[in-house]
Amino acid sequence: MSEHPPFALVDSHCHLDFPDFAGEQAALVARARAAGVSRMVTICTRLKNEPAVRAIAEAHPEVFYAAGTHPMYAAEEPLVAVEQLVALAAHPKFVGIGETGLDYHYTADSAAVQAESLRIHIEAARRTGLPLIVHARDADANMARILTEEHGAGAFSCVMHCYTSGPELARAALDLGFYLSMSGIAAFPRSTGIREIFAAAPRDRILVETDAPYLAPPPHRGKRNEPAYVAHTARIGAQALGLTEAEFAALTTANFERLFAKAAA
């Protein structure tokens, strides 16, 4: 067996600063590289943690980062300013705005501040030219409405990370030129509907991710996820799209480089 896999994948969304990975980042990156993962984007979900997330990206050539306020924390954290995000974007390894979005599953009571936070992040994406990274759960109609309104007021690029919402929000996002990212959930046996959404999407608008430490794909389901496991999701993604694993890797890597152009430079 050759030392390097025959094709390179990108984990477009993980959380390497989370306590699950304390002290293990170097080993995680090494395992990812051995599994064919050439780059990964680690996502900061509370801006007070940005220095630690930035340090991980600075320590590893393969790791880039993004920062924002996760919608589930929007009511707990100070409301971010557009200027804060724009200032962070000056860092050479800062490649995206977020994650931001709407989550009404556990935190519907903070819907108003979530929407306000989302619109701030959108303005930062406009100003920086960096892609918006969106988390959407149980808020499909409002998410489609806000994204459509805001895009009409001024274009920006965007990825719907860990896409598990319905076909209507997928269509709204794709119609705006946005991307959908496939997580380990898409590899679960019962996720037929999610795989159908990806199979019907334009090929040039699909990414793949882990959302590690969450949502490990089979055969690691229920255990801690890590960037190396994006290869398992990619295998199922390739089947869903009728592609070989090498074709799926090349496709999602090219899409990543188009959207996250700063990480491709």
For residue 59, is it within any domain?
yes
The CATH number for 63's domain is 3.20.20.140
For residue 3, is it within any domain?
no
pLDDT value of position 6: 61
For residue 2, is it within any domain?
no
- CB 236 within 8 Å of CB 187: yes
For residue 1, is it within any domain?
no
Cis peptide preceding 213, ω within 30 of 0: yes
What does the DSSP 8-state code read for residue 131?
P
- From the list 203, 191, 189, the residue with the least C-alpha distance to 238 is 203
Edge-to-edge order in the sheet of strand 179-182? 9-14, 37-44, 63-67, 94-103, 132-137, 158-160, 179-182, 206-208
pLDDT value of position 173: 98
Quickly tell me which residue has 């050759």 as its tokens. Answer: 2
Question: What total of structural domains would you count in the chain?
Answer: 1
Contacts of 214 (CB under 8 A, 6+ apart): 15, 225
Supply the range of the domain harboring residue 167. Answer: 9-264
pLDDT value of position 5: 58
- From the list 185, 237, 179, 235, the residue with the least C-alpha distance to 206 is 179
Per-residue pLDDT of the chain (265 residues; tens, 9 = 90+): 334 556 799 999 999 999 999 999 999 999 999 999 999 999 999 999 999 999 999 999 999 999 999 999 999 999 999 999 999 999 999 999 999 999 999 999 999 999 999 999 999 999 999 999 999 999 999 999 999 999 999 999 999 999 999 999 999 999 999 999 999 999 999 999 999 999 999 999 999 999 999 999 999 999 999 999 999 999 999 999 999 999 999 999 999 999 999 999 7
- From the list 56, 24, 46, 62, the residue with the least C-alpha distance to 213 is 24
For residue 64, is it within any domain?
yes
Structure tokens at 248: 């799926």
Contacts of 207 (CB under 8 A, 6+ apart): 10, 12, 159, 179, 180, 181, 182, 252, 255, 256, 259
For residue 4, is it within any domain?
no
Alpha helices in the chain (DSSP H): 25-34, 50-59, 82-88, 111-128, 140-153, 167-175, 192-200, 230-241, 245-259, 261-264
- What's this model's pTM, rounded to 2 decimal places? 0.96
